[in-house]
């Protein structure tokens, strides 16, 4: 007996799954990677680009403080101390600078300088000024120290940031 042929069609395999368009999970991963890159770019590149502006602003503020005739020498030194702290907070991580006071603050300002001009020199009056008469305060030396600290740290910070952004 012969079997009758059935009216069946061949089996067709489905098309291969395309890699495009991406599934929603991949889009989320792409966006997260982009966000991480932007954060890295901001932290390393833009901060290095803005650091010279911080130094210029600090230098202008220092000139304003020293040229203000209405301020006493103690007030000028107090203003310089505040300016140095603001500048340090802009150039360095907050947790590295914010809690420093007294001798620790002066040692931070000394940095790697073997002469320790803040701890052992004229910079001591940044912490002692309220307790000393104006006649004992050397404003010009403090201004010179502050100006050189701003220049050195602006340069050091921008070089440090460029080094880390290249790595």
CB of 81 closer than 8 Å to CB of 126 = yes
Domain boundaries, the chain: 24-166
- Distance CA(105)–CA(92), nearest Å, equals 13
Percent over 70 (pLDDT), the chain:
88
Tens of pLDDT along 59-94? 889 999 999 999 888 899 999 999 999 999 888 888
pTM score > 0.75 for this model? no
DSSP result, 59-107 = HHHHHHHHH-TTS-HHHHHHHHHHHHHHHHHHHS-HHHHTT--HHHHHH
Tens of pLDDT along 86-105? 999 888 888 888 899 999 99
């Amino acid at each position: 007996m012969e079997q009758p042929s059935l009216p069946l069609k061949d089996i067709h395999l489905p098309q291969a799954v395309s890699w495009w368009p991406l599934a929603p999970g991949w889009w989320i991963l792409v966006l997260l990677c982009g966000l991480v890159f932007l954060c890295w770019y901001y932290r390393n590149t833009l901060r290095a680009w803005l650091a010279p502006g911080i130094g210029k602003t600090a230098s202008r503020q220092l000139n304003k403080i020293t040229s203000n005739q209405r301020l006493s020498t103690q007030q000028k030194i107090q203003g310089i101390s505040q300016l140095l702290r603001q500048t340090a907070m802009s150039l360095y991580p907050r947790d590295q600078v914010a809690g420093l006071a007294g001798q620790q603050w002066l040692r931070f300002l000394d940095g790697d300088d073997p002469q320790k001009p803040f701890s052992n020199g004229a910079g001591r009056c940044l912490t002692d000024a309220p307790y000393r008469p104006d006649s004992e305060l050397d404003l010009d030396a403090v201004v010179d120290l502050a100006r050189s600290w701003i220049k050195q740290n602006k340069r050091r910070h921008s070089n440090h940031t460029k080094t880390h952004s290249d790595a």
